[in-house]
Amino acid sequence: MRIVSEAKEKAVWDQFLLSQTSRPFLQSWTMGEVYKRIGQEPVRLIIKEGETVRGVCFAHIVPARRGKHLSIPYGPVLENCATWKNMEEGLRELLKELKRIAKESGCSFIRMSPFWTKSDALDANFKAMGIQDSPLHLLAEHLWYLPLVEPDPWSVFAIRNPQSAISSEDALFKEMRSTTRNLIRRAEKEGVTVTASVDPVADLPHFLKLHDETRKRHGFTPYTDSFFRAQVEEFAKTKNVILYLARHQGEVIASSIHMTFGGETSYHHGASVISKIPASYLLQWTAIRDALRRGDHLYNFWGIAPEGNPKHPFAGVTLFKTGFGGKLLELTHCRDIPLSSKYYLTRGFEAVRKWRRGF
């Protein structure tokens, strides 16, 4: 008998998640605590077949002005197991429960951004279940990542830009774009020092100050300071967050927040001042080397612009990230499940917003 129920045990949840090929920290138990801190109620559902856990799904209720909805970041995570022949049925039961919870919470739609590729068997069944493409993306759908071990842990997902996984600092450095290598060396010659904070909670104000400057410079809609504090404080409890600080002549000129979970290091947030000193390059290289020394199996740079779109808002950061070498992982597009007529007002608003922002 398959049961979809509210998850109660953190250990069971994370044990299952860590056993999967894809283990996004955004689906970790701790991430639910982050959203709880900022007033977005977490929903944690677990799928069992007998005593065997077959899937988990973390969601949170977003009280957005454009439309209250249930958001599922990089989930659900379902077991990719040949012995589980009823995976599609399990997903249907999960969606049924998600719809019930969302409607009872007054949501007008569910927004799901699965960590699946377009070729995934489940993806082909989405439209038949009343799940349609979202006008916007929820999370990055074009991920740039660097394998740190052999075999490449995401090789079953990777679509193009194949190259051998590398497991030494020298080899990683050689695989970089020559310009990137030169900028790393230049930062070192200019006297830039990069350190991983021993107390990320206490040092977070350095990042927040730089992030505010970066936001004003680029004009993007940022996460709130309360979100950053909640994320750093909650993940610091489990030692799954690293705050890097790059200094030049005693001044912090670049900073980043990296999440570490299940052998994956994710470059999640970054900020810097306007400077001719290429501190961000040395910061990234330091983080990559640290991940390698920890024995992590991959380094996730997160989102880049899709190929052939030079006007995309991520175009600038794409050149920066891809310079370190790596591969592209293309995920399926974000999907929506309408629950009321209010959803279509939100959809129209977001379609205009997407066009204005250049996505």
344 shares its domain with 326: no
Amino acid at 67: G
For 8, 33, 99, 193, 240, the CA distances from 37, given in Å and listed in that order, are: 18, 6, 24, 33, 17
> CA–CA separation, 200 vs 234, rounded Å?
11
Do 255 and 341 reside in the same domain of the chain?
Answer: no
CA distance 74 to 56: 11
205 and 133 in a single domain? The answer is no
pLDDT digits (tens, 9 = 90+) for 247-260: 999 999 999 999 99
Pairing of strands 77-78, 52-62: antiparallel
CATH code for the domain of 239: 3.40.630.30
Per-residue confidence (pLDDT) for residue 166, from 0 to 100: 58
**Residue 218, φ and ψ in degrees, nearest 5:** -105, -10
Look at residue 64 in the predicted model and tell me its pLDDT: 77
Q: To which H or E segment does residue 345 belong?
A: helix 342-357
Predicted pLDDT of residue 315:
81
Q: Is the separation of the CB atoms in 154 and 147 below 8 Å?
A: yes
**Into how many domains does the chain fold?**
2
Q: Are residues 103 and 200 in the same domain?
A: no
Tokens 């100050």 identify what position?
209
- Do 131 and 6 share a domain, yes or no? yes
Asked if 270 and 227 sit in the same domain, the reply is: yes
The answer to whether residues 45 and 179 belong to one domain is no
Secondary structure of residue 127 in the 3-state scheme: helix
The per-residue pLDDT for 160 is 41
Residues 185 and 107 in one domain: no
pTM equals 0.91
Please report, for residues 22, 32, 125, the alpha-carbon distance to residue 84 in angstroms, rounded to integers and kept in the order given.
Answer: 17, 27, 17
Q: Which residue has the tokens 């998600």?
A: 98
Cβ neighbors of 256 (< 8 A, separation 6 or more) are 207, 243, 244, 267, 268, 269, 270, 271, 280, 283, 284, 287
- 204 with 182, same domain? yes
The answer to whether 91 and 99 are in contact (CB under 8 A) is: no
Q: What's the pLDDT at 158?
A: 47
State the residue range of the domain holding 89. Answer: 2-139+333-357
Q: Are residues 104 and 212 in the same domain?
A: no
Kindly state whether residues 125 and 220 are assigned to the same domain.
no
Nearest to 257 by CA among 217, 298, 295, 210: 210
Residues in contact with 94: Cβ distance below 8 Å, sequence separation at least 6, in sequence order: 4, 45, 47, 55, 57, 76
Write the CA distances from 140 to 74, 137, 267, 302, 329, integer angstroms: 9, 7, 12, 7, 10
Q: Could you say which residues of the chain have pLDDT below 50?
A: 158-164
The string of DSSP codes covering 3-66 is: EEEE---HHHHHHHHHTSS---GGGSHHHHHHHHHTT--EEEEEEEETTEEEEEEEEEEE--TT
Distance CA 98, CA 331 (A): 22
Examine the domain organization and report whether 150 and 261 are in the same domain.
yes
